[in-house]
Structure 1
Amino acid sequence: MQQLVQRRRRDGLVARTAERELFRGSFDTPPEDEEHRFLFHVHGNAGVGKTFLLRDFERIARERGALTAYVDESAHSVPEVLAELCRQVAAQGHRFKELDRLLATHRERLHEAEAAALAALDPEPAGGPSAGSMAVARAGLAGLGLIPGAGAFAGVLDPAHVAQGADRLRAVLGARFRSHEDVQLVLSPESVLTPVLTKEITDAASSVPWIVLFFDTYERTGAFLDGWLHDVMTTDRHGALPATVVVVTAGRHPLDTAHWGGFGDFTAALPLQPFTEGETRGLLADRGVTAEPVVTEVLRLTGGLPVLVSTLAATRPAGPDDVHDPSATAVDRFLKWEPDPVRRSAALAGALPRLLDADVFRAVADGDPEQLDELYGWLTTLPFADERAGRLRYHDVVRAPMLRLQRRRSPRGWAERQRRLADRFRAWREEAETGRDAGRLWADEEWRELRLAESYHLLCAGDREAPSMVLRGLVDVCDQGESVAGRWLDVLEEAGRDAELRTVAAWGRQLSRALADGGTEAVLDRLLTDSGFGAVVVDALGSTNVTRPPGGPADWGTPVPGAARERHAEERRVADRDADDRDAEGPYAAGPGRGVALAPGTAARVYRGRAVSRAVRGDYRAALTDLDRALTLTPDDARSRALRGEYLRILRRHDDAVRDLERAVALDPAHDYAWASLGATRLALGDPAAALAALDRALALTPDYPWALIRRARVRRELGESEGRLADLDRAVTLQPDSPWAHCERGDALRAAGRDEEALAAYDRALGLDPGYASAYASRGVTRFHLGRPADALADLDRALELNPSYAWARAQRDEVVRHRDG
């Protein structure tokens, strides 16, 4: 009975009736009917009720037995969207098992991308690699998923450049990710994941009448989703999508006509405007608010903006209070009919964090734990507090004036609460660090989110070291890819907006544009070349006495004394590119004599990060230039030395490589990567005994190091240690069962031992994982020849030469087979 009553009350609402009826009607129209719509797009300004309507659509869809999933801006890439879809459909009793497995592999391979570019390279190109054009470089980075919206489905890059860039990256990553699928999961994850998604959806469609997918906040997610979604829905390149799938998107803007202009016959646009006076009165009456003075006040204050109407209606005001008070703020209006001052204070405190849960609320609000738990429960009922994945997020329309009120009413109280939150997030971050390898923390999403929250609140508190901390963190997250770097830049923009730090907000916008234009390499370029980041201003009074936040690294910022500071500020002043930000004031305002230089350690990290980005796209000479600059600033940095040595090895400058790698291990004897690279370099110089010693050291430090195991197997081949060679390769295959490189090397060892049948199985496994592996074809051809199968041998050797026409060893082996056949 209660469900029927609630349904009739919902259906009786005058607000958004037409939109709900149009959507409901789609389930009564067969997909074959020309009136059926496969795509609904809700659009309108912030606060018009897009999310509320989507949630109502989701309820309607589930009433019709649909399997549903809802994704918002918390997802920053297509793989993250797919992971959220998997989670939600599983909660409804359906498992996308294969997609779940591939997503887990994608995450692992993405974290290994840097290692693949540094530790598992073996391109060995004749004459050394070329730099390539910037367009090809960007296309390659897009293929890596490092430029949202510029992937294989965005339709904005030259397909030839995408292919060329992807091929170059395959060559760089090939030694580590010999599996073709693994390479594609890094280079173009959508191309691997999407066909699996369509198959999973097709399987699910056999047991449910409808599948409805909701994509909210499309003004943010559309940058990477729109082109992909267009391809999935309008082409068959990823497989057939069941006709019972309905997609609903919601954002501030209409659909992009470049993608959807020719598909109006199966889309429905639902523009939302603020409520009319009649709709507002109807909603208020439904909540029991009918007194004319109160209704008049709500109409005046909200302008029909649904989120405000709903917020005020939910408080069920009995009468207007101080309606003529000209100093009343928007926040006073939101809470003016809430008589309990404790609740009012709790609502304001809850606005301070970007995301709120019970633990965060206890850190920012005042009161005993039992009272705080009760207050948090009350907060979850407020119309403007949207609960997502167990966390609350205030609607921007409400949160923004709440933040302004607190900041202007009590600047010291604002700063104190922001510091309190920063301290709490720092404590949680340090707790998460306990017993962990510091070098792996940046790959941990949970740890990064704690560091992000800490940074946001330090910026809002006006902490003088916070900008240096955030920019230093940005250098580190650039190693994790563009989507992670984008979240870091969001914090700069959000803190700049929420705390009215115009310079900080401008930094965020400028770096975000650089990220969109050229990926993480462009961000690092900007940090190194733009005067706005060369001098981070931390003291509005010009003092050089800075106090580092607790737990902060020593190189967050280094004061520049006296005349040197004046010169630095003059040379590297903050260049705010937005005219409306040139009058910025506050703790981060720019000005001569108030600069704090990026510390040498921080600047060196920027150069090193850019070197890695350049190496990923095969431009090792440019990478060396950056590493030279990094080592000028920090000559005793073992990691930069090791990277420089590896890049020199790849460029066949082996003597120079040995000098850098020996220096690296002298600086850090526990640097396994440097020892492994040193071993490979010594082998190239014809010293297998020294190579073995270095690789033994690397594997003593990290026994499960597949690249070092395979390299040591090559050394043992030179030393004639056939049993040890095979043992190393057996271990490498166990550690990386999906590595074509490991299987191919093991096949070579088996063939050398006269075990051709086993070698053939190893080559078959390698080619099953990577059908384009020229070396495996050539080696399998030789093995087939040994087994008395010359026709099959020629077919394999021809295929190897087709894939690599300059493959001299394969051509020599083919000539031998032909001579044997003809003679």
Structure 2
Amino acid sequence: MAQARPSMQELIQRRRRGGLVARSAERELFRANFDTPPEDGRHRFLFHVHGNAGVGKTRLLKEFEHIARERGAVTAYVDESAGGVPEALAVMCRQFAAQGHRFKELDRLLAAHRERRHEAEVAALAALEPEPDSGPSAGGMAVARAGLAGLGLLPGVGAFAGVLDPTQLAQGADRLRTGLSARFRSHEDVQLVLSPESVLTPVLANELHGAASAAPWIVLFFDTYERTGTFLDAWLHDVMTTERYGALPATVVVVTAGQRPVDTARWGGCADSVTALPLGPFTEAEARGLLADRGITAEPVVAEVLRLTGGLPVLVSTLAGTRPARPDDVHDPSATAVERFLRWEPDPVRRAAALAGALPRWLDADVFRVAADCGEDRLDELYGWVSTLPFADERAGRLRYHDVVRAPMLRLQRGRSPRGWAQRHRRLAEVFRQWREESEAGRDAGELWADGEWQELRLAESYHRLCAREREALPGVLRDLVEACDRGEPAAGRWVRVLEDAGRDTGLRVVAEWGRRLSDALTANGTEAVLSTLLVRAGYVPATRGGLGACRMVAPRPALDAAPGENADGYGDEPGWNDVELPPEVAARALRSRAAARAVRGEYATATTVMSQALGLVPDDALSLALRGEYLRIQRHHHWAVRDLERAVALDPALGYAWASLGATRLARGDLTAALDALDRALALRPDYPWALIRRARVSRELGDHARQLADLDRAVALQPDSPWAHCERGDALRAAGRDEEALAAYDHALALDTAYASAYASRGASLANLGRHPEALADLDRALGLNPSYAWARAQREAVERHLDQVTDAGG
């Protein structure tokens, strides 16, 4: 049966929909593209809408989506709620499924990606355990650390990956891939961690082909591109212009919208496939057309609307929606912007609800209930009405007021009742705190910081505490920011934006200045610059001519005849940076992050100095003491290492890391009984602690308890099958027990994981010599000495093999 043609009324309503009468040229251009076959040179595969905030980009994309649906297209709409390509794909999957196109294989892989990513992060935390000085070669460890840093799997190091040797980053990625191959069951699982796009995108292409067989068009919308484009633009370019991920159906159209124009450096080579749609304020003719469509034609009224709005679409649409009938309805020089938005709404409850809805940075029905102090009897009505306001955009199931409208609403409420303002923000902060704590049950910090929903709740709570001007709000946000820096730039950026937003919205100059400085630092040099800025502002680090990113520690190294940290100097204050005192514990946490980053790069002396500064601020921090003790152990300053580590376990007897490092230090000093006691304590706290197991195995070796030695090493290898050090240590134990054939298998495994592991070559050479395979033994020992010419044990083993061969030759002669 033929479908009935739409009525005149339906057609008129379509034209009125969304207040986009003035964007007729853009809409017609987009609509005409569906009438042009993909094979036609006039067809466009990418539309990029761009312009300043308030010009109606999101509204136009929504209209484009409606046009696409009218043409039978399957659509997906992604905005800044997605923080990466996998998240964007998850949004697309959900929206395609809602339209009857279930992407089952992509859904499965996305779930696997989330699981494997978490497992890899847990493994990365284990990799933070400082490796022993006698473990893998220094070069091998540097490459391993670089790989973890380059992949963003090592908390606190992501910001420093850019300063590492690119060769080390590449080699490190290869090493980690090998390690993950041993941990995970398939190559696909490894790639889901190391390069999720390479696994997910080909599947997306296949799924789109399936959808294309049932729908004439597929249209993908990517809004707020000034944020999402940072991770989507290069990926989209590869997907659309190369065959790296497979072929896309020709019936796919992509629409992006952001504040900046298209990147010509990237997309210039395919300009004939791209249409840029720059949006500016309405021209006078466009604004008059929209007003006339709303029945507003009286010249004095139109003139006043044009004057007040400057043609900004969101304001023109808002004022047009109030249906002013007389010039007096709009002409009020003293009226605030908020009164111009809402003065024609007669219901005071609705007016109050609209104002209250501006308080949070985003709304859903639950948040609106608290913000508007709304009873259940009117919740649906009021929230439904607020959802229809022209300045309330819906994104990912949440409402966000347009900044042009929200800002004056906030200023009005803050100025009208400062105490009421603070009280409402405290109420919102308390509710977000309750929701956050409910989400935390049974989860550790690593899981929470990986959870975007938990971060949103924490950020919202922090924002409202800042707006309420709570005394501890700013120190709390700065404390969280230090933690966020350990999680990488995206997380740090969210906390910096909270400071920017709260400083602007609440009129607090100090908070706004923190936000501005930290935002500049993050943009310029990443999270390392953010930490430097925090420390410079507090006066703990001097500014340098090289800028914030070039800040460095200048305290003298602690002398070895004094306790580390006791002679650390303080720094004077930087002029103009003392509006708020940075709490010592926050500065100490930032210093600890810097120290850990230096240690990851093998700069243990510098790490010790920086950690001493942290301890100068918070002397009784057990973790800082434990870390400095470990750095001193690695530098063989065993006396001071024991002092730090014993103090750490006295402060926190449950700190397994400190007990393990103390055991290793006591072993190095020859105190075997005390070393065994410390390592037993570490393993009682953390039974699955490979580093401590290997160290305890060394103690057992010195005590002659070879059965326990091998048992600990067997367990360490089972827990950490991707550790070359664990396999090599196990091989040494087998060789000492006269089980050289088994030892060879352990060394082979170690060298498969690290082909530059000098110790494994030397040990394998010794076992080969024990088995009478002397030429092979010489070859391995030569490789060990080639990698480490100062390797005395390997040289001694090689000389012994040569003497044996000489004796055989002489006997034969």
Global fold match (TM > 0.5): yes
Shift in Å, 1:717: 5.2
Query: CA 1:706 to 1:523, structure 2 compared with 1: closer, same or farther past 3 Å?
Result: same
Provide the C-alpha distance between the structure 2 equivalents of 1:799 and 1:239, rounded to a whole number of angstroms: 44
Q: Which amino acid aligns with 2:152?
A: L
The answer to whether the Cα contact below 8 Å between 1:610 and 1:626 also exists between their aligned partners in 2 is yes
Equivalent of 1:347, from 354, 357, 378? Answer: 354
Matched, 1:208 2:216: no
Q: Which string of whole-angstrom CA distances, capped at 9 and with x for unpartnered residues, describes residues 383-440 of structure 1?
A: 3222233322111122112112212222232222222222333344444556666797
Provide the C-alpha distance between the structure 1 equivalents of 2:22 and 2:172, rounded to a whole number of angstroms: 55
Query: CA 1:295 to 1:525, structure 2 compared with 1: closer, same or farther past 3 Å?
Result: same
Secondary structure at 2:256 match in 1: strand
Provide the C-alpha distance between the structure 1 equivalents of 2:692 and 2:635, rounded to a whole number of angstroms: 19
The answer to whether the Cα contact below 8 Å between 2:152 and 2:158 also exists between their aligned partners in 1 is no
Equivalent of 2:120, from 96, 109, 116? Answer: 109
Shift in Å, 1:306: 2.7
Query: CA 1:780 to 1:85, structure 2 compared with 1: closer, same or farther past 3 Å?
Result: farther
The answer to whether the Cα contact below 8 Å between 1:800 and 1:810 also exists between their aligned partners in 2 is no
The answer to whether the Cα contact below 8 Å between 2:79 and 2:222 also exists between their aligned partners in 1 is yes
Secondary structure at 2:646 match in 1: helix
Shift in Å, 1:93: 1.1
The answer to whether the Cα contact below 8 Å between 2:225 and 2:256 also exists between their aligned partners in 1 is yes
Aligned counterpart, 2:201? 198
Q: Which amino acid aligns with 1:109?
A: A
Provide the C-alpha distance between the structure 1 equivalents of 2:491 and 2:526, rounded to a whole number of angstroms: 11
Matched, 1:678 2:656: no
Query: CA 1:666 to 1:336, structure 2 compared with 1: closer, same or farther past 3 Å?
Result: same
* Equivalences for residues 7-86 of structure 1 within 5 A: 9-10=13-14, 14-27=21-34, 29=36, 31=38, 33-61=40-68, 68-77=75-84, 80-81=87-88, 84=91
Provide the C-alpha distance between the structure 2 equivalents of 1:67 and 1:803, rounded to a whole number of angstroms: 61
The answer to whether the Cα contact below 8 Å between 1:118 and 1:646 also exists between their aligned partners in 2 is no
Matched, 1:425 2:410: no
Query: CA 1:799 to 1:139, structure 2 compared with 1: closer, same or farther past 3 Å?
Result: same
Identity, % of aligned positions: 61
Shift in Å, 1:48: 1.4
Shift in Å, 1:322: 2.8
When structure 1 is superposed on structure 2, of 403-412 and 15-24 the one drifting more is: 15-24
The answer to whether the Cα contact below 8 Å between 2:727 and 2:747 also exists between their aligned partners in 1 is yes
The answer to whether the Cα contact below 8 Å between 1:178 and 1:740 also exists between their aligned partners in 2 is no
The answer to whether the Cα contact below 8 Å between 1:69 and 1:85 also exists between their aligned partners in 2 is yes
Provide the C-alpha distance between the structure 1 equivalents of 2:593 and 2:787, rounded to a whole number of angstroms: 33
Gaps of 5+ in 1: 536-567, 576-589
Matched, 1:496 2:507: no
Equivalent of 1:93, from 80, 102, 105? Answer: 102
Aligned positions, number: 759
The answer to whether the Cα contact below 8 Å between 2:85 and 2:197 also exists between their aligned partners in 1 is no
The answer to whether the Cα contact below 8 Å between 2:743 and 2:767 also exists between their aligned partners in 1 is no
Q: Which string of whole-angstrom CA distances, capped at 9 and with x for unpartnered residues, describes residues 306-340 of structure 1?
A: 32344345556666663222222222222233221
Secondary structure at 2:81 match in 1: coil
Shift in Å, 1:69: 3.9
Matched, 1:163 2:167: yes
Aligned counterpart, 2:152? 144
Q: Which amino acid aligns with 1:620?
A: Y
Q: Which string of whole-angstrom CA distances, capped at 9 and with x for unpartnered residues, describes residues 195-225 of structure 1?
A: 2233222322331226544332222333444
Secondary structure at 1:206 match in 2: helix
Aligned counterpart, 1:580? none
Provide the C-alpha distance between the structure 2 equivalents of 1:100 and 1:803, rounded to a whole number of angstroms: 46
Aligned counterpart, 1:616? 600
Matched, 1:454 2:461: yes
When structure 1 is superposed on structure 2, of 418-427 and 6-15 the one drifting more is: 6-15
Provide the C-alpha distance between the structure 2 equivalents of 1:66 and 1:764, rounded to a whole number of angstroms: 56
Provide the C-alpha distance between the structure 2 equivalents of 1:67 and 1:192, rounded to a whole number of angstroms: 28
Aligned counterpart, 1:574? 576
Q: Which string of whole-angstrom CA distances, capped at 9 and with x for unpartnered residues, describes residues 77-110 of structure 1?
A: 5565455556655665114233542344334534
When structure 1 is superposed on structure 2, of 469-478 and 482-491 the one drifting more is: 469-478
Query: CA 1:787 to 1:282, structure 2 compared with 1: closer, same or farther past 3 Å?
Result: farther
Equivalent of 1:478, from 466, 482, 485? Answer: 485
Secondary structure at 2:210 match in 1: coil
Shift in Å, 1:445: 4.4
Q: Which amino acid aligns with 2:381?
A: E
The answer to whether the Cα contact below 8 Å between 1:140 and 1:164 also exists between their aligned partners in 2 is no
Provide the C-alpha distance between the structure 1 equivalents of 2:775 and 2:142, rounded to a whole number of angstroms: 39
Secondary structure at 1:268 match in 2: strand
Query: CA 1:388 to 1:758, structure 2 compared with 1: closer, same or farther past 3 Å?
Result: farther
The answer to whether the Cα contact below 8 Å between 2:588 and 2:617 also exists between their aligned partners in 1 is yes
Provide the C-alpha distance between the structure 2 equivalents of 1:799 and 1:224, rounded to a whole number of angstroms: 47
The answer to whether the Cα contact below 8 Å between 2:86 and 2:110 also exists between their aligned partners in 1 is no
Secondary structure at 2:48 match in 1: strand
Provide the C-alpha distance between the structure 2 equivalents of 1:65 and 1:123, rounded to a whole number of angstroms: 66
The answer to whether the Cα contact below 8 Å between 2:34 and 2:71 also exists between their aligned partners in 1 is yes
The answer to whether the Cα contact below 8 Å between 2:137 and 2:759 also exists between their aligned partners in 1 is no
Q: Which amino acid aligns with 2:596?
A: V
Query: CA 1:100 to 1:732, structure 2 compared with 1: closer, same or farther past 3 Å?
Result: farther
**Aligned residues: CA RMSD:** 5.1
Equivalent of 1:663, from 638, 647, 653? Answer: 647
Query: CA 1:372 to 1:99, structure 2 compared with 1: closer, same or farther past 3 Å?
Result: closer
Secondary structure at 2:53 match in 1: coil
Provide the C-alpha distance between the structure 2 equivalents of 1:519 and 1:711, rounded to a whole number of angstroms: 37
Matched, 1:708 2:692: yes
Aligned counterpart, 1:242? 248
Provide the C-alpha distance between the structure 2 equivalents of 1:730 and 1:232, rounded to a whole number of angstroms: 46
Matched, 1:401 2:404: no
Query: CA 1:281 to 1:754, structure 2 compared with 1: closer, same or farther past 3 Å?
Result: farther
Q: Which string of whole-angstrom CA distances, capped at 9 and with x for unpartnered residues, describes residues 425-463 of structure 1?
A: 334444455666679765654444333222222222233
Q: Which string of whole-angstrom CA distances, capped at 9 and with x for unpartnered residues, describes residues 660-701 of structure 1?
A: 222211221110111122233334445555433322211211
Provide the C-alpha distance between the structure 2 equivalents of 1:288 and 1:754, rounded to a whole number of angstroms: 97
Q: Which string of whole-angstrom CA distances, capped at 9 and with x for unpartnered residues, describes residues 153-196 of structure 1?
A: xxxx79x943345657999x9999796999x9999999612222
The answer to whether the Cα contact below 8 Å between 1:131 and 1:619 also exists between their aligned partners in 2 is no
Q: Which amino acid aligns with 2:167?
A: A
Equivalent of 2:619, from 635, 656, 679? Answer: 635
Aligned counterpart, 2:262? 255
Shift in Å, 1:493: 0.6
Aligned counterpart, 2:518? 511
Q: Which amino acid aligns with 2:44?
A: R
When structure 1 is superposed on structure 2, of 283-292 and 334-343 the one drifting more is: 283-292
Query: CA 1:395 to 1:697, structure 2 compared with 1: closer, same or farther past 3 Å?
Result: same
Aligned counterpart, 1:562? none
Q: Which amino acid aligns with 2:646?
A: E
Query: CA 1:436 to 1:43, structure 2 compared with 1: closer, same or farther past 3 Å?
Result: closer
Aligned counterpart, 1:538? none
Q: Which string of whole-angstrom CA distances, capped at 9 and with x for unpartnered residues, describes residues 219-259 of structure 1?
A: 233344444544555556x5445364543321112123333
Matched, 1:378 2:385: yes
Q: TM-score, normalised by structure 2?
A: 0.77
Q: Which amino acid aligns with 1:705?
A: Y
Shift in Å, 1:793: 7.6
Query: CA 1:305 to 1:80, structure 2 compared with 1: closer, same or farther past 3 Å?
Result: same
The answer to whether the Cα contact below 8 Å between 1:713 and 1:725 also exists between their aligned partners in 2 is yes
Query: CA 1:714 to 1:23, structure 2 compared with 1: closer, same or farther past 3 Å?
Result: farther
The answer to whether the Cα contact below 8 Å between 1:429 and 1:450 also exists between their aligned partners in 2 is yes
Q: TM-score, normalised by structure 1?
A: 0.77
Equivalent of 1:646, from 626, 630, 636? Answer: 630
Equivalent of 2:329, from 311, 322, 334? Answer: 322
Provide the C-alpha distance between the structure 1 equivalents of 2:56 and 2:372, rounded to a whole number of angstroms: 29
Provide the C-alpha distance between the structure 2 equivalents of 1:491 and 1:393, rounded to a whole number of angstroms: 15
The answer to whether the Cα contact below 8 Å between 2:662 and 2:678 also exists between their aligned partners in 1 is yes
The answer to whether the Cα contact below 8 Å between 1:72 and 1:221 also exists between their aligned partners in 2 is yes
Query: CA 1:121 to 1:273, structure 2 compared with 1: closer, same or farther past 3 Å?
Result: farther
